[in-house]
Structure 1
């Protein structure tokens, strides 16, 4: 629409199993090595563990670190990297007007209590009564303030001074898509000038692995590429935040764009209907291909944030194959970060477009073909492991 403004990405903060920062990720994506995978600590399940991070670099107060759960530390750290990247650290005036949209899950559970209940409930004559009793004594998540989802935004505000409006979205992969979509839409519509958007996930926690396992969705070792062999979700610890900004605001403070965010689309297919995911995702991809620079010289690739859950990933693969575009799997490199997956994939897409080329194919992933041409556009696809479909488009900013 002609009355909508451009939206620039002026800062990116990224931490995952591949390292921290854009330079470390670009090097890891192109060195041809196997992804960083842990198949023993949480056996039989596959996890992409977080790289070694010195949290003191972005969260200097030990007291702040101690009151955060791991996923909050990951997110607060990634947010600090994004603000550094955008040249905003310490600028109280701009940070005070910076909006924030965060994708977050619930807090981490008491694993000892959960384990004891799962063991004992099998021996109960009235398991429903037993569970209700436990809810009144041991399982009281609403009383653990450290587990509230909006505390990631709160910690970012405290540590980094981002004190504009704040929104937190929950809802698996869709929350990551909508966090970016809302930030993008507000800037494009002129109701916001600058926003910090993103999310974080700690995969190294048995409570979430248990949930995936109970749904028969957790990837068992050995690791396998998700697009070729979608046998389960290989969860990955990661955090990614993006600074979104209007061109007018960025130019006024002397900032340049890394890339341009040209659109974010989300939907929710009726998963019970055959072909519904393919239809919805296909329409979203078509919308992205028609948006932005559609000239003949536009070189486009797709970065897939596919979860690895068998049925939805097969549906996503069908759309990717039909597109005819070169494909790269984000999940194969860093694992799946649930709420953080769309921001992580967008960060890698923005990195690729800013470099003007696609990173190397992954050995053992036949869907990934060599691509030597210049890259000016990247479409990100993200199909939720049980609901929600999202697509985003980043383009070169000339």
Structure 2
């Protein structure tokens, strides 16, 4: 088990979130408070339901059309959410702060160029020398930013370019665990005095047939209609959602010195990598939650809806947070893989900032590997 003990208070001063519900703190606060109906598309990628991204006015956060054109949807989503976080924190025009700002991104392998894929596969059927044909097409057709899919660190690069951030960045890959570790490392660096200011988060585009294929091959997707995350016994599996979330984290001292609004305090963040045998996830998450020292009134769960592990996550919450109100992120916006944990932490911070809870925990067990938990306290 890996965990971070906070030596200095870490606070959340900026929240940027985009999903099928829309964008921003108010929209998602209302969804948390009212339990609004999720936005689900059951036809576009049938038999797999998904939560499609709400329409965005990209010009608001990505002013240059040339920047918009060279990004794929997952990048535009992430850059947009990062811009919202900077606006929320009051840092969008602060050049000095953006030079010190460190960025941590949780990202997947990027999006494939389906037109190129299709053309190559079609041409291979009649190629006299398939190997030579494939090499020639891959060399000539792929853009420099592609290795069959877009480079993962392009999101961090575009956040820096579009928003004028000149501080260092790092990108974590590894599905849901990437999101857990991005938050964990960002919190730990500030808590340990290694940084004063961080921008951390991730983005995921669920409207991708290549990712649906990969998840389906592993048996991880729900078929048919929408059902709540903890009520999918009839057809277990994830319902993915296009979503992105970025948080501005600061040391409490820095936030106080500049008079920033604090949405919530981010306490300990912990991660584990349990063996996926019966009871393994429940034991791991129970240990993580008990180690947080929390007394939550709210539990935000990034549970996938997949068979077995979802029930074990629910059991761990019942043991360690029996009186807390439980909200499944997937019920609101779907499961966003690398962005699932950042989105869930953002939702918890929104709930605390708007007075819906005094203390919250966030949990998440990845569909294949990795578990995480975080504690948030009302400012």
Question: Structure 2 length as normaliser, TM-score?
Answer: 0.90
Match of 1:377 in 2: 359
Which is further off, 378-387 or 133-142? 133-142
Match of 1:145 in 2: 145
Q: 1:308 aligns with which of 280, 302, 305?
A: 305
State yes or no: 1:161 paired with 2:164.
yes
Match of 1:334 in 2: 333
Once the two structures are superposed, the pairs formed by residues 1-398 of structure 1 within 5 Å of their partners are 4-112=7-115, 136=135, 144-145=144-145, 147-229=150-232, 231-271=236-276, 273-288=277-292, 290=293, 299-323=296-320, 324=322, 325-357=324-356, 375-397=357-379
Q: Cα gap change, 1:196/1:54 in structure 2, threshold over 3 Å: closer, same or farther?
A: same
Which is further off, 321-330 or 159-168? 321-330
CA distance in 1, matches of 2:245, 2:220: 24
Following TM superposition, by how much is the alpha carbon of 1:142 offset from its aligned partner in structure 2, in angstroms?
Answer: 8.6
Q: Cα gap change, 1:58/1:326 in structure 2, threshold over 3 Å: closer, same or farther?
A: same
Q: Residue deviations 1:153-173, cap 9 Å, x none? A: 100100111121211000000
Following TM superposition, by how much is the alpha carbon of 1:284 offset from its aligned partner in structure 2, in angstroms?
Answer: 0.4
CA distance in 2, matches of 1:67, 1:112: 16
Match of 1:371 in 2: none
For structure 1, the 5+ residue unaligned runs are 124-128, 292-297, 358-374
Q: Residue deviations 1:226-248, cap 9 Å, x none? A: 11215111010011000000012
Task: Report the aligned-residue RMSD.
Answer: 2.4
Q: Cα gap change, 1:299/1:390 in structure 2, threshold over 3 Å: closer, same or farther?
A: closer
For structure 2, the 5+ residue unaligned runs are none
Q: Cα gap change, 1:134/1:172 in structure 2, threshold over 3 Å: closer, same or farther?
A: farther
Q: Residue deviations 1:12-40, cap 9 Å, x none? A: 00000111001011223334432100000
